Amino acid sequence: MKKIDAEILEQAAQWVVKIRSEPLNAEQQQQFEQWRNASQQHQKAWQRAQRLLSTLQCLPNQSQNILEQSEKKQQQHLSKLMILVFLSITATAIAYWQFYPAWNGDYSTKTGEQKQIQLEDGTQLDLNTQTALDVQFSERQRLIVLHYGEIAIQTGHENIDTYRPFIVESQHAYMQALGTVFNVRQLKQEQSTCLAVMQNAVKVTLKQNTQSRIIHAGEQICFDAQHYQVQQTLQPLQYVWKNKVVMAYETPLNDLIKELSRYQTGYIYVDSEVKNLKVSGSFPIDQPVQLRYALEASYPVKVHNYLAGHLITIKSTIHQVDSK
């Protein structure tokens, strides 16, 4: 299933706001029909919007109060924002159930949860948010099947007489540990697996390409079932998630929020004016209040919480100051 383009979803949200505010005139109706029939993606986006039109009257009371207390222009913007949020959530849910069955796995974590386990051979696994895996140990090998998510691994040492290779299987490849500490990431919304090696080395064999590579300590690489991407030097700041923080250094704000959103059950909207704002620092994954204080204290942004924290918006304060 091809993901609907975000711009088309936003256009659908704009049409929902127009239709809810007043009946379309003949010219607007023609424009709407042209937009809806522009492509198959436009049609699918509108089908999703139609389902929302019948339920928007059931929004929580808090959201209705927010709209009533705003000026008209702000009402329209927030209405469009909320509709866009619901459209995006619907798209995410459909993609999830289409491509990722409801695996619980031998070990799993929920959104925002992290877990540490120790296997029978002494291997230590750290599971990041939204992760599911199976452990399949046999006389011949030690296999970890990663269905989705992110794990940090410190392999246990077996007696040489009974040595069994330690292998992590993702959707795209088999990764054999060569006495090592490493990180494997295969997120639901990404069509690739990423490997980072902290100690020793890992041998990677793609599932649809017999070519293997050995990734050494201090290196990281992403790949799908057929191709390797460009190998890179290890970026240590990307792998401190076990400390319940996300580290940023001159990182676009939108990229930071995208990473933090993995740990949140709500939706975080970043205004286009500040998406590319470069930010640095240590940001907690489970304390949204501290995130708000950290951003507002150091950068020209304002963070708002709606719907009991299920909707967070981040906007620029520069134009607000200029307009006063």
Cα angle 88, 54, 33 (rounded to 5 degrees) comes to: 75
For residue 146, being part of any structural domain is answered with yes
**316 and 254 both lie in a single domain:** yes
Amino acid symbol at 294:
A
Please indicate, yes or no, if residue 304 is contained in any of the structural domains.
yes
Block means of pLDDT (10 residues each) for the chain, length 324 residues? 65 72 83 90 80 51 42 48 55 43 73 93 94 93 95 87 90 93 90 96 94 95 96 92 92 93 84 92 85 90 77 79 40
- Residue 168 sits in a domain whose CATH number is 2.60.120.1440
Same domain membership, residue 248 and residue 225: no
Whether 91 and 122 map to the same domain: the answer is no
Choose the final residue of a domain: 190, 216, 236. 236
Residue 267: what pLDDT?
A: 76
For residue 183, the surrounding DSSP H or E stretch is strand 173-186
State phi, psi for 158 to the nearest 5 degrees: -100, 155
Going by C-alpha positions, the residue among 198, 141, 197, 204 that lies closest to residue 170 is: 204
Q: Which domain holds residue 72?
A: 6-99
* Single residue among 236, 260, 277 that ends a domain in this structure: 236
pTM for the full predicted model: 0.71
- What the block records as the tokens of 194 is 């990423």
Q: Find out whether 171 and 133 touch, Cβ atoms under 8 Å.
A: no
- Identify the pLDDT of residue 210: 81
Domain count, the chain: 3
Q: 164 and 158 in contact (C-beta within 8 Å)?
A: yes
Q: Is 271 exposed, middle or buried (0-12, 13-18, 19+ CB in 10 A)?
A: middle
Give the whole-angstrom CA distance, residue 7 versus residue 127. 34
Mark which of 40, 67, 99 sits at the end of a domain. Answer: 99
Question: Would you say residue 316 lies in a domain?
Answer: yes
Query: Which of 205, 234, 206 is CA-nearest to residue 220?
Result: 234
Lookup: tokens for 182:
């490493």
Quick one: 154 exposed, middle or buried, by C-beta within 10 A (0-12, 13-18, 19+)?
middle
> For residue 266, what pLDDT is reported?
74
Query: Is 215 part of any domain?
Result: yes
Q: Are residues 114 and 91 in the same domain?
A: no
Does any domain span residue 283? yes
Residue 223 lies in a domain: yes
> Is the residue at 309 inside a domain?
yes
Instruction: Tell me, yes or no, whether 127 and 92 share the same domain.
Output: no
Does residue 1 form part of some domain? no
